[in-house]
Structure 1
Amino acid sequence: MSDNQQSTRGRPRVALVTCTDLPDLEPDDRLLLAPLAARGVRVDTVTWDDPGVDWPDYDLVVLRSTWDYIARRDEFVAWAATVPRLANPADVVAWNTDKRYLDDLSAAGVPTVPTTWIAPGAPWRQPEQGEYVVKPAVGAGSLDSGRYDLADPDHRRLAADHLARLGAAGRTAMVQPYLSAVDTAGETALLFAGGPTGPVFSHAIRKGAMLTGPDLPTGELFRPERIDPRTATPEQLAVAEKTLTAVPGGSGRLLYARVDVIPGPDGSPVLVELELTEPSLFLGHTEGAADRFADAIVAHLRAT
């Protein structure tokens, strides 16, 4: 949006998009409200599936805690395609809401966790031993995910039951070896806020191990996490930058990005997930993070 357009419409108007279960956003996202107001931005909190919202009336629509889309992904992706000035863009949303994007990143040379994809009804030949993670290709918040020790007969049965449950719901499953370093080093999330030429590193946090055993449905939107600040290493930053470079269409269009890595068997960081749709930004865990993301929104507004 040009400065002239901005002046004729007055204060820029931004929608922070959530879901009906979190009508006032989740607490971390609310940390954006005061910095945006201080920058002269009018903010509305709206749910993505509210038919009464006039999306073209917003100067920017920012996806935040839309965590109920999992069971309605097709509807969510179709909705995103109708929204002007969506961040992140609708084609990114369509690509990033199915974790089979990991194959694209692996093909681009990004170190990723080896993944086997199991279509609904397809068999999985279980290894004789080793720990594996079973989770849906479309999912968030570690829900419908489990950790299985295949040397244990009960775990072998439970893993097969988990896959059957996902398949019966028409969901593609993914199976990955469990990286044991997460139990000690944890998972590192690197947060990026959009800059003039693409996302700029903002801060990093450590997440403790989330999966302690087989999948046990909780009925929650996400599983609680233990979060601590962390200093990103040069190796982690290098993997994150390589990951963002491989995003289809280029990373310059992104308002935000979260890159999650875990030490692999040799200690080098490997990509677990690239979150470009509705990731927690962990703004409350690093001083200045909310201001950096508010600045990124303002910059995005000026470029729109």
Structure 2
Amino acid sequence: MKRCAILSMDSLEGYFVYDHLLEEPMSEAGWQLQTLSWREKDVDWNQFDVVLIRSPWDYQKDAKAFLSCLQRIEASSAVLENPLALVRWNIDKAYLREIEQKGIPVVPTLWQSRFDLQTVQRAFTHFDTDELIIKPLVSANADDTFRLDSSTLQACAGQLAEVFCQRKHMIQPFLNTVIDEGEYSLFYFGGQYSHAIIKRPKEADFRVQEEHGGRLESIEPTPELLTLAERTLAAIPYPPLYARLDFIRHGPGFAVMELELIEPSLYFNMDEESPRRFSRAFVEKFGPGQPACLSR
């Protein structure tokens, strides 16, 4: 059998992980999976045919070390997916400016290199909003993401200055549609649409991740949303093996919240055929291995 490493983290306790649903279809296609933490030292990546980035959900705590790990993988004989060039492009949320220049609607954003209280205060007027979102350009799992009104801004000013003093960050209007309607996620494997869900936060929260109490529902996206997703996928500079495209309703249509191309949950639990779709896209790119029943 061919070997594929699933790149993860030291401990997934407290996280919702569904990559085990890949084991059966990948094994049937002749691929053996082995999960490894990106923090493990002295791994011989040459022993794998492919390394699949899946759940290194703590990478933002040391992005430099994470990228160094990916560099070692790319220098080996293993193929890294998604590739390092795409990870470098996607790891900094400034990519949103690039796709916006290509005509893709994104949530309105102010881009900041260091924290400035007056700039944040003016952002309420700039966006004509009562609430703002501030988050780092390199982040995951809603870490260091703040939802602020004018009073909480004053109360949190010291904490914000400490978190973002020398850290690039983005300021956006808080869009109530994330609560009223939810955040849409569309999944693509090998450039082909697979499935879609809507994620809603728990009561009195704004974070849609399951780890924060978010609720999930499978949906059929509207033609309008599918068309935007196809345009968005085409704006990505390198073709991804897997992609999760996150959208929110904004104005008369939809806007991109984020493009998840590094370690997104692909929510294989929400569509029973999605693991096989992924496996087919994977095998189409890397070929089948020797089925387990023939490798003994």
Match of 1:49 in 2: 39
Does 1:164 find its partner at 2:156?
no
Instruction: Return the match for 1:103 from 86, 97, 100.
Output: 97
Q: Is the 8 A contact 1:26 1:65 kept in 2?
A: no
Q: Which has the higher helix share?
A: 2
SS in 2 for 1:140: coil
The aligned amino acid for 2:221 is: A
TM-score (normalizing by structure 2): 0.86
Does 1:191 find its partner at 2:187?
yes
Instruction: Return the match for 1:208 from 175, 195, 200.
Output: 200
Deviation at 1:92, TM superposition (A): 0.7
The aligned amino acid for 1:32 is: L
Matching of residues 1-304 of structure 1 within 5 Å: 11-22=1-12, 27-84=17-74, 85-123=79-117, 124-126=119-121, 127-128=124-125, 129-150=129-150, 153=151, 155-158=152-155, 160-168=157-165, 170-194=166-190, 199-209=191-201, 212=204, 223-248=212-237, 250-251=238-239, 254-266=240-252, 268-302=253-287
Q: 1:242-301: per-residue Cα shift (whole Å, max 9, x none)? A: 1111112x32xx1100000000022x0100000000000010011201111122222221
Alpha carbons of structure 1 residues 39 and 33: separation in structure 2 relative to 1, 3 Å: same
Alpha carbons of structure 1 residues 58 and 113: separation in structure 2 relative to 1, 3 Å: same
SS in 2 for 1:82: helix
Q: Is the 8 A contact 1:148 1:156 kept in 2?
A: yes
Unaligned runs of 5+ in 1: 1-10
**Structure 2 CA distance for aligned equivalents of residues 179 and 27 of structure 1:** 28
Deviation at 1:224, TM superposition (A): 3.7
**Structure 1 CA distance for aligned equivalents of residues 206 and 16 of structure 2:** 28
SS in 2 for 1:83: helix
Alpha carbons of structure 1 residues 42 and 231: separation in structure 2 relative to 1, 3 Å: same
Alpha carbons of structure 1 residues 26 and 50: separation in structure 2 relative to 1, 3 Å: farther
Count of residues paired in the alignment: 276
**Structure 2 CA distance for aligned equivalents of residues 211 and 264 of structure 1:** 21
Deviation at 1:173, TM superposition (A): 1.6
Q: Is the 8 A contact 1:142 1:222 kept in 2?
A: no
**Structure 2 CA distance for aligned equivalents of residues 214 and 300 of structure 1:** 38
**Structure 1 CA distance for aligned equivalents of residues 248 and 212 of structure 2:** 19
Q: 1:92-119: per-residue Cα shift (whole Å, max 9, x none)? A: 1111111111111111111000111222
The aligned amino acid for 2:197 is: I
Q: Is the 8 A contact 2:185 2:246 kept in 1?
A: yes
Alpha carbons of structure 1 residues 56 and 212: separation in structure 2 relative to 1, 3 Å: farther
Q: 1:218-263: per-residue Cα shift (whole Å, max 9, x none)? A: xx99534211111111111112111111112x32xx1100000000
SS in 2 for 1:50: coil
Q: For the aligned residues, what is the CA RMSD?
A: 2.4
Q: Is the 8 A contact 2:111 2:171 kept in 1?
A: yes
SS in 1 for 2:193: strand
**Structure 1 CA distance for aligned equivalents of residues 155 and 110 of structure 2:** 18
Identity, in percent, stands at 34
Q: 1:41-63: per-residue Cα shift (whole Å, max 9, x none)? A: 11111111211311122111100
The aligned amino acid for 2:179 is: D
Q: Is the 8 A contact 2:178 2:206 kept in 1?
A: no
Unaligned runs of 5+ in 2: 289-296
TM-score (normalizing by structure 1): 0.84
Deviation at 1:161, TM superposition (A): 3.7
Give runs of ≥4 in structure 1 deviating > 6 Å.
none
